[in-house]
Amino acid sequence: MRKITLLSAILMLAFPLTSFNSNKKHILFNEYPPFFNIHKETNNSKTITGINNATIASFFKNYPKFSTYQSDVDQLYKSRNYKMIWYDNNELIEFAHLLYQKVNMLEKEGVKSTVPYRDQIDFIFNETEANKPSQSDTELLLTSLYVFYTNKVYEGLDAKQVQNLGWFLPKKSISYDKLLDSLLVDPKLLDKGKIGLFSQYYKLRDVLDKYRKIQKTNDWEPITMDPSIQILKPLDSSKTIGQIRHRLVVLGDLKQDSKRNVYDQELMDAVLNYKRKYGLALNYKIDAEQISQMNEPIEDRIRTIMLNMERCRWIPAELEKGKEYVMVNIPSYHLVYVKNGAYELVSDVFVGSRLNKTVIFSSKMDRIVFSPYWTVPQSIVKNELRSLIASDKNYLKDHNMEWFNGTIRQKPGPNNSLGLVKFLFPNPNDIYMHDTPAKSLFLAQDRAFSHGCINVQKAKDLAVAILKDYPDWPIDRIDNAMSGEKETVCMLKNKIPVYIGYFTAWVNDAGEISFYKDVYDRDSSLSSLLFPDKTVN
């Protein structure tokens, strides 16, 4: 009985699983709770650190459909001393996922293409597949895919023009002068309006200038914590208080430095503002961990700003030009729905865990599903449910489940793992957004819980905001559709752009910058590509 009770709780907290194979047809998007002991296939191929001529020759012998790109691929590795492009510490870098998403969206963008070795490439990004290519084949498949992509999209343009269009192959050595010069985008083209970037890029660029000025003044003195004090609280008096006050003046959270060493009301307000910007728990306590965070070197903050300027170049420039769009920022655990240039809704979210990272991509939302079913993956049915059903004939009924087309699904209802509404936007990763019955999880400061999909705290509010201009979907109809009695699909007349991004630094409309925890350690891998000498001058 204990196991059944535990499973009931687990089903209440079920989180999404992404399925990466875009060629596989799904009855419904599958999800499962992270607590089940699900066997995952791994790639047992020998780890390699580089490519050589023999490896390249062998690859193109085994993959002849890519042979037309052999000289280009060979030249790419030759210019990089035959180092790996797509791996960092045996993990695919985020550029790899970006490339995969862009290739999958080619036909949607009006480019007719037949991707060679589609199945093998899909297997690279499908964690459930056992027959992944070897690491060397994966590396060379992705490089060939990159050459294929640039040939399809940028045919007739030279290398510099391709670079200026906003996407380039990562390089091991990029000069800081070029990077600061709009990160490889010709500033003359930007000034003439020939090439536009996501507006966040320019906001980050302005803050970068501010932080460089702080760096030059040497006004980033370390804050020292008195070892006898564990936590600083309002009305406490300490030399550390004065140092914190000065730092908040430098950052702009305080207008002037009173030089007081007392934790007064003025400082309390500034501390709350600082914590709000950094996604920290909103209280007045200051502990050693927060002091350590405030003591992050100014050079590291500058590097983080520059990394996120680079990420801005991955966002389609057209995103902000439309009437509306949805953006999810993974590190900040926030979603924004922007309409007519203004924030219509802001919501907390939780995202994929470190083992099941939410992928960066863009797509268009085409439907909202109210009171959805949840189809239980066959792995859970086989490994967990069959034995429980055999020992308890009422198990499915007690858990609001049923057999359907050879599998088991959870019926609509308030305890359904997807909650009462989900938002679908076709993408090669089968990621979507949905409600959740586990509302208490939004109280956590770090919210990387799911198996890849995005759980939205204000899911109903988002549905209401999106359907505000739909006369046939008034609030009472939405309430009825979310009653949990039957699944109802609303097809959107106007598809809404959706962008899932990864920004560890973000500047709001008031010019205030926030820095967020690098939840997937992606800053370090991107930094090693852009700043191999780990020095910011």
| pLDDT beyond 80 at 105 | no
Lowest mean pLDDT among 47-61, 192-206, 239-253, 287-301: 192-206
Nearest-CA neighbor of 201 among 310, 301, 300, 318?
310
Residue 110's pLDDT is: 53
Q: What is the rounded end-to-end Cα distance, in angstroms, of the chain? A: 63
Q: What is the pLDDT of residue 161?
A: 47
Give pLDDT, residue 359. 77
Token pair listed for 384:
């967990």
Contact between 423 and 432 under an 8 Å Cβ cutoff? The reply is yes
When pLDDT is averaged across residues 287-296 and rounded to a whole number, the result is 89
What pLDDT is stored for residue 48 in this prediction?
Answer: 65
Average pLDDT, the chain: 79
The size of the chain, in residues, is: 537
The predicted model gives 168-196 an average pLDDT of 41
Q: Is the per-residue pLDDT at 169 higher than 80?
A: no
Dihedral sign, CA of 307, 308, 311, 316? negative
Condensed to tens digits (0 to 9), the pLDDT of residues 275-284 reads: 888 878 889 9
Short-list 170, 154, 173, CA closest to 162: 154
Per-residue pLDDT averaged across 56-73, rounded? Answer: 92
Q: What local confidence, expressed as pLDDT, does residue 271 receive?
A: 93
Give the per-residue pLDDT at 130. 64
Q: Is the pLDDT at 535 greater than 80, yes or no?
A: no
Using alpha carbons only, what angle is made at residue 492 by residues 490 and 497, rounded to the nearest 5 degrees?
Answer: 130
Query: Residue 389, SS3?
Result: helix
Question: Cα torsion at 278, 282, 286, 288 (round to 10°)?
Answer: -50
Listed in sequence order, the DSSP H helices in 348-494 are 378-380, 386-391, 395-398, 459-466, 475-481
533 pLDDT band (50/70/90 cuts)?
A: low
For residues 180 and 98, which has the higher predicted lDDT (pLDDT)?
98
Confidence band, pLDDT 50/70/90 cuts, at residue 86: confident
For 335, phi then psi, to 5°, come to: -120, 140
The structure's pTM equals 0.71
- Decide which of 269 and 99 is more confident: 269
pLDDT-wise least confident of 158-167, 208-217, 316-325, 424-433: 158-167
How many other C-beta atoms lie within 10 A of the C-beta of residue 198? 23
For the chain, what is the radius of gyration of the CA atoms?
Answer: 25
Q: What pLDDT shows up at residue 7?
A: 32
Q: Say how many C-beta atoms besides its own lie within 10 A of residue 217's C-beta.
A: 9
**In the predicted structure, residue 529 carries a pLDDT above the cut 70:** no
pLDDT tens per residue across span 492-505? 999 999 999 899 99
The string of pLDDT tens digits covering residues 446-474 is: 888 776 789 999 999 999 999 999 999 99
pLDDT at 269: 94
> Which range is least confidently modeled, 301-305, 445-449, 514-518?
445-449
* Burial call 49-67: b when 16+ CB within 10 Å, e when fewer: eebeeebbeebbeebeebe
Please tell me which residue, 443 or 167, carries the higher pLDDT value.
443
| pLDDT given at position 153 | 64
Q: How far, rounded to the nearest angstrom, does the alpha carbon of residue 81 sit from its chain's CA centroid? A: 31
Does residue 187 surpass a pLDDT of 90?
Answer: no
pLDDT digits (tens, 9 = 90+) for 146-164: 888 777 765 554 545 444 4
Confidence (pLDDT) at 102: 74
pLDDT band of 478, cuts 50, 70, 90: very high
Contacts by 241-250, CB closer than 8 A, 24 or more apart: 241/267, 244/271, 244/286, 244/291, 244/294, 245/270, 246/221, 247/220, 247/221, 247/223, 247/294, 248/274, 250/214, 250/219, 250/220
Q: pLDDT tens across 389-428, in order?
A: 999 989 999 989 999 988 899 999 988 989 999 999 987 6
d(CA 130, CA 109): 31
Q: Is pLDDT at 340 greater than 60 in this prediction?
A: yes
- pLDDT for 29 equals 26
Per-residue tokens: 255 = 């207008």
Residue 55: is its pLDDT beyond 50?
yes
- Based on the number of CB atoms within 10 Å of its own CB, is 227 exposed (0-12), middle (13-18) or buried (19 or more)? exposed
What kind and span of H or E run contains 409? strand 407-410
Give me the mean pLDDT over the 160-185 stretch.
40
pLDDT digits (tens, 9 = 90+) for 14-25: 333 332 233 332
What count of other Cβ atoms lies within 10 Å of the Cβ of residue 287? 12
Q: What is the pLDDT of residue 167?
A: 44
pLDDT level of residue 369 (50, 70, 90 thresholds):
very high
Between 344 and 32, where is the model more confident? 344
| pLDDT above 80: residue 379 | no
Longest dimension (CA), the chain: 73
What's residue 34's pLDDT?
27
Question: What is residue 154's predicted lDDT score, i.e. its pLDDT?
Answer: 57
Whether the per-residue pLDDT at 514 is higher than 80: the answer is yes
- Contact at 8 Å (CB) between 380 and 32? yes
pLDDT tens, residue by residue, 237-258: 999 999 999 999 999 889 899 9
